[in-house]
Each structure stands twice: as C-alpha cells, then as structure tokens.
Structure 1
C-alpha cells in the first residue's frame, strides 16, 4: 500500500485504524454458497472496481472488530471506544455527490450521523443530545464529518482505502466467489509482501454486477479470526430519496449548534499547510489529538504509521496500562509501548503518540523520523 489518489486520512470512527470499522467481536458476516461466475484475473477485477460508479445505495451493515484492545479504565462506555469495538449493526444510505446517513442501532438506542451536503447532524438517543453542524458553501466534501462517519460504516468506502493504495508491496489475487447480501461476488485478496506489519491479508467481496465491494475482512498475521469484518446483510443500489438525509431532532432533544469555518486558499495564522497523504488503515485511532492537531503519516505501504503531536489522551486513565507497559529508548527519546495482536502504540515522553498496524520496532524507527 503506497500512494493514494485522494485524501482519506481520517476515517471516523473505525474504521477507525476507520478506522473505520466498528464491529462485532468474532461474529462473522454470513455468506451463502459460492456462486458459479466467469473467471476473472486480479487485474481485471481491480480495473472494474476502480472504474465502478453508483449514484446511490442503501442497506444494512453488520460490523465486527477485535483488535485485541485491552479495557482502558476511565474510557469504558465512551462513545469513541464503543464505536471501534463490540458488535454493531447500522443502516446506511449514500447518494452522490455529498449525501450520507448512518444509523447505528444499539440495544434500545440509536446513534444517527447524517449530512445532506449543507448540514450535518450527530444524534445520540441515550443522551438525547444532538449536534447540528452547518457546512459552508464550497467546503470540500471529504471534510464533512457526517459524510465521513457515514463512510466509516460503508464497506465500499473502507475497501477503497486499501484498493486506492495497492502497489508492488501488495500481492493481489482472486481466491474464489461467494454470495453476500444475496448478491454474487468475487473474492479479492490483498496480501502484504512484508513482515513489517501485523496484517496478514485483507479480503474483499466485490459485487459481480456493480463492481463495488460488499464486504471487507482484515486478518491478523498471527492468525485466528478476522480482526475487522464489515459487510452488507442487505443492499440496494437504488438512489435513496433526498428526505433520507434530513434530520429532525425528537422533542426534548438538546441541540448544540456549530459552524465549520469556510475554507481558504491559504492556511490561517499558525497553521501549516497539510499535504495529501496515504489513507489511515482501518483500526488506527484517528482523532486522539487536541483540536487543531492533525495526524501525519510516516513510512510507506503497510508499515506506515500515524503520528499525533500534543495528543490529549487521558493520562490518568492510561496509567494502569502504561505502568506495566514496556519502556523503549533510542536516539528519538524514550516512551512506553502498548501492543495487541493488531495495533501497536508508542507513547513518547515528548508528547507524541505513534500508532500503526505494525510491530513495535517499526514505531521506534518512525519516532526517529516523526515531527516533534
């Protein structure tokens, strides 16, 4: 996975390293018997996927994430953590070019993220609170938080992060066929050609008619069940009506109103220009920094990592974990490292957090190159 055609650095919340990908722990998306489809080469399938275009879709998505993250005292029950762990079902809808909706269905509760291109809403029925975000005219669509949250539950968007970044560091093969959400699909496997990653492979179920991914699975290099699994159980490629993307808060809801500033051609005072970078792979936390701090990417391909400066992690909450974490030292300084079967995170003493789907030694190398 090397360069990318578009700026997809921050998927929330998944798919998060979206990113992006909140989901059920070890609850597989059920696939039907393998359909009989014409043979196709990996290159042909990649070409078809990259050229695919649908004006809209809607459906039900089941997702599962088991990154091996330990329980973090003080963060249990937090919305951000909940969205990248556990079992989730979501109803999603997309309409080109700027409309998206994701309704995450929890037990006796619902969280809604939606945008019509002009206004974005985030609503939590448990707290009976909603945030209304007015989007300035002309703002780039990929900056719309509502649309990004919708894409976090869209298998086609999550899969595209991997497909957009395929390069010689990735072996690409067609491994068979399967039926997903009642539709015939080819199975495309992406396998890293390096051991400098915790990812063993990524498999995509690609619709044999519309050529869009219907399901994504990320398997650990260490083996075992998928770490991330996201797929449709129902899907339609009809364009949803415009009313799908409007939102009226229920009576009694507390509404907080915000407005995004208009984009300017030049960065504001004290703000550095931010160049387009490689996408953050599903599973890397994407918004741990303070407001205004933006993550950067260090490294190439599957061994690339995300670096956050001045991160505002809750130090008190992390202390029980960091107290027992291994200490690393080098020319870059010192810090504590936490590792799971998929994610490694280095908390440096100078206030950086370096996270990736990589072994700890890759984080040390990145710490020497990352901005301080």
Structure 2
C-alpha cells in the first residue's frame, strides 16, 4: 500500500470521539476464544480500516498506562493531575459520536467526572471536582468541527490512527490472528518496528470484522512482557446516539464561563484551558506549547525514531524543591554538541531538558534522543 494511501484521512471521524494515548492491561476487554474469521491480508485489512465509515457509535472505553517512569511525590496535586493521568494509571470513559459533528466524552476518575461534549453549535467542558464549566459558542461554518475540544486519549480510533499513519518501510505489518473485543469479532493487526532506535517493541490494533473500526490498541515495550499502553472498548454499539446525548445542562451551583470561539478560516481555535494534555505515539507533549513564550513543537526525524522539540519552554519550575526539581536532581547530567542538560529515561519515554530551555522527548532510546538534539536547530 502506497504512502499516499496510508496518509489519507480516514472516513471514520476518529477525532470526533476523543481518546491518549491511554495504556496497561484491560482484562475485561479480551475474551478467551479466538473467533474463526475469513483470512485477510494486512494490505486489505489496512485498506478497509482507511475507508471505514460509521454514522455513530457509543460505548465505554478503558485505558491504562505504565511507561516505567519513577514516582514523583506530590505530582498528583491540583494542576499536575492531568500529567499524572497521562503517564500512569487506569481510567474509564464513556464516549459517543454522531456524524457530522456531535461528540461526547465523560471521564470517570476518583468519584469525579469530566465531560467534553458538542452538538455542533456549542461545546462544553465540565469538571465536577472543581464545580466549573466552560461553554464555547462555535462559529458557523459548514466545514468547521470542534476537533480540538475533546481529549483524544479516550478514543481507540484516534490512538490507532497515530500508529497506522506512521506505517512506512521501517515497519513489519502482519495479521497476527483474531480475538474478541467488547463482544465483537476482531482481527489483530500487528506492527513491529524494524529499527532499534525506538523503545516500542510492537503495536497491536484490534479491528472490528464488520465495521472495520479499531476497537483496541496495545503498545508493548522492547523490554518486558507487560503492555506499556492499552486503550480499548469494553462495550460498544454502532447505533447512532440520540441528539440528547450531546446536550449538557450544568448542575446547580456550578460556575459557568461563556466563551465565543472566533472563526479562523474555518478552523476552530479552542481555548487552551479546555484542551487536556496527552501522550501520543513517538512524542510526549502537551496539546499547546509549554509556557506562554514557548514556540510550536518541532518534529525531528521520521517514523518510529521521531523526537519532538519545544524551544523556549518555561523551565523555572524545575528549580527549587518542587517534585519535578527533585526528579531532575536525581537525573544524570549529559552534554554534547547540542549543549548540556538533564536526561530522564524509562522503558518507554526518554526526555532531555537542556540548560538553554529546550525540551526533547520521544519513545526512543537515550542515544537516539541526544542524536536528534545534535541535529536540532538552535
């Protein structure tokens, strides 16, 4: 299959039901029996996934992550809770979407609920723990979709797309069997990087045998036998949800902030406080640059060994006695033609924080990360 075909936008609106690269073991998702399905080649399976189209779906998604990062005392407090979520733990979300522009995600954690929902004309972001809600009035545009308003870390389709779009000659692709996911028969498509520069050992995508929609994504590290990332449906229906699913009425006593999203050539500009942080394949970064003075992220390299660089990142919080400062104090100091900085590594993630305010991160080996830093523009 050609690169042009692989990079073609999916007909399934994967961004509509936002999900992360969430990650770990989803015991309830898998059943023991392997269903008997007609033989299909990897090329034909990829073609069906890329042309898959459903008018709507709803279900429950379970995600878990174990990236092998050390524990950081105090990191779960208030503003750091999203970072804790994206790097570890298990989470549950209820998701729904209906074409062309209706979507809802409800994340349930620690007896609290966070909701992102849109009916196409307005969007809501609600956090029950803070008793706060933001209402966005979306500009009228026939091609405008509030894609950035929902967290992709709870969408198996969005997570799968990140990997499938990266397939190139450096990847071995094969149909590795069948399985049951959320009670549905699915093919297993396995991606194995040929390069040893990445920390990713393999990625398995479970693809529904009737709708050809990805139902589950499992990321295995190069070392160890436990998943580093898994996100998948525990239950799913392909019936179109009712319009009322996407409406939202804030509970009594909730503080509501009204905002209007200006039109920008048909592209929605969602305020940054509504957009959660995420982990995406081959990069670890927030949806917005770090710090008010940070530049847009730059991607160095291609495919499995790509690295993201953020320049002018605010690193003032890395000094003093804060939890991140404590972590960096234990991290080794490294230097090269790129300069000097601190290196943080785990079984999946490598991050380099340089003295001149640049941050490099990726699902790559430490040597690959430093090689990318040496090639990066100043």
The 3-state SS of whatever aligns with 1:64 is strand
CA displacement 1:284-318 (0-9 Å, x = unmatched): 23345124732221111100011112223532432
Residue 298 of structure 1 corresponds to 300
CA contact (8 A) 1:42 1:172 kept: yes
Aligned length: 348
User: What TM-score, normalized to structure 2?
Assistant: 0.85
Compared with structure 1, are the counterparts of its residues 98 and 152 closer, same or farther at alpha carbon in structure 2 (3 Å cutoff)? farther
Greater shift in the superposed pair: 105-114 or 72-81: 72-81
Q: CA deviation at 1:180?
A: 0.6
Residue 275 of structure 1 corresponds to none
Compared with structure 1, are the counterparts of its residues 115 and 70 closer, same or farther at alpha carbon in structure 2 (3 Å cutoff)? farther
CA contact (8 A) 2:21 2:281 kept: no
Residue 255 of structure 2 corresponds to 254
Compared with structure 1, are the counterparts of its residues 232 and 75 closer, same or farther at alpha carbon in structure 2 (3 Å cutoff)? same
Which whole-Å CA distance do the structure 1 matches of 2:338 and 2:142 have between them? 38
1:126 aligns with 2:129: yes
The 3-state SS of whatever aligns with 1:322 is helix
Q: CA deviation at 1:74?
A: 4.3
Which whole-Å CA distance do the structure 1 matches of 2:52 and 2:344 have between them? 40
Residue 30 of structure 2 corresponds to 31
Compared with structure 1, are the counterparts of its residues 90 and 290 closer, same or farther at alpha carbon in structure 2 (3 Å cutoff)? same
Q: CA deviation at 1:135?
A: 2.7
Gaps of 5+ in 2: 268-278
CA displacement 1:83-128 (0-9 Å, x = unmatched): 3121111100012222221101123221111122332221111111
Superposition RMSD in Å: 2.6
Compared with structure 1, are the counterparts of its residues 293 and 248 closer, same or farther at alpha carbon in structure 2 (3 Å cutoff)? farther
Residue 76 of structure 2 corresponds to 76
Residue 159 of structure 1 corresponds to 160
Gaps of 5+ in 1: 267-278
Compared with structure 1, are the counterparts of its residues 261 and 310 closer, same or farther at alpha carbon in structure 2 (3 Å cutoff)? farther
Residue 111 of structure 1 corresponds to 114
The 3-state SS of whatever aligns with 1:321 is helix
Residue 196 of structure 2 corresponds to 195
Which whole-Å CA distance do the structure 2 matches of 1:241 and 1:38 have between them? 34
Which whole-Å CA distance do the structure 2 matches of 1:139 and 1:6 have between them? 18
The 3-state SS of whatever aligns with 1:80 is helix
| Match among 90, 95, 102 for residue 92 of structure 1 | 95
Q: CA deviation at 1:129?
A: 1.1
CA contact (8 A) 1:130 1:253 kept: yes
CA contact (8 A) 1:184 1:207 kept: yes
Residue 368 of structure 1 corresponds to 374
Residue 289 of structure 1 corresponds to 290
Residue 325 of structure 2 corresponds to 319
Residue 271 of structure 2 corresponds to none
Which whole-Å CA distance do the structure 2 matches of 1:340 and 1:311 have between them? 22
The 3-state SS of whatever aligns with 2:220 is strand
CA contact (8 A) 1:204 1:215 kept: yes
CA contact (8 A) 1:197 1:358 kept: yes
User: What TM-score, normalized to structure 1?
Assistant: 0.86
